[in-house]
Structure formats: structure tokens, C-alpha cells
Amino acid sequence: MKKETWTELAIGALNLQAGNSVSNLTGTWRSGRKPEFIEDNCIQCFFCWLYCPHFAVRVEEGKVTGFNYDYCTGCGLCAEECPTKEKAIVMVKEETKIIEEGKK
């Protein structure tokens, strides 16, 4: 993507396209591990959804159903915060892919 020159930018360093972070696939930062959802153990408390720094917990029809790996960085906060005795989220090993910048 061609980056703007200083004269092309909005003054005051404003971002005029609020919400454009959807184009930033933070999932490319993930290295070595990812969360896995165990639906049977889930009590739908939404802690994982609340704590996830990247809105990567998938919610469908009012229920947590897993993760959006395009944005999940594998930080493990969701698994840490999941309050059930038998965890509904566990971190599992994942083979790291080398991804070129800007490509999915």
C-alpha cells in the first residue's frame, strides 16, 4: 500500500476512518500458540469476550462460539480469565507461519 506524504495526511494526526483497525490483521502477530474452545465446559459468562484485547472472541446469536484467528494474537488472556473449573479455553501449540508484511 502506498503511504501518504505529510501533505496528504489529515491535520492533527486524526484518523478520519474510525474503525479502520479491521484492516490490521493482528492474527499475523500470533506465534507458537492459539486458544482452543471447548464448548461443553463453557458457561457463557463472556469473560473471554470482555478481556480479549483484539475482539477476537467470536459471538454468534448471543453465544461465545470460538475465535476469529485473523485477529487473535494468541496472548492467552481469555484462557487465563476463563473461570470454569474445567477450562473452556485452553492454549494449544500452533506451527508458526512466516507471513510477509501486508499479506494474509
Which residues share a beta bridge with 37? Answer: 89
Which part of the chain contacts another protein (CB under 8 A), choosing from 7-15, 40-48, 50-58, 86-94?
7-15
Spatial CA neighbour of 77 closest among 31, 35, 21, 36: 35
| Residue 73: Cβ within 10 Å count | 18
Site membership for ligand SF4, residue 21 (CB under 6 A): no
CB of 90 to another protein, least distance (A): 31
Picked from ligand SF4, another protein, none, the partner binding residue 7 (CB below 5 to 8 A depending on kind) is another protein
Site membership for another protein, residue 16 (CB under 8 A): yes
Q: Grid coordinates standing for 1?
A: 500500500
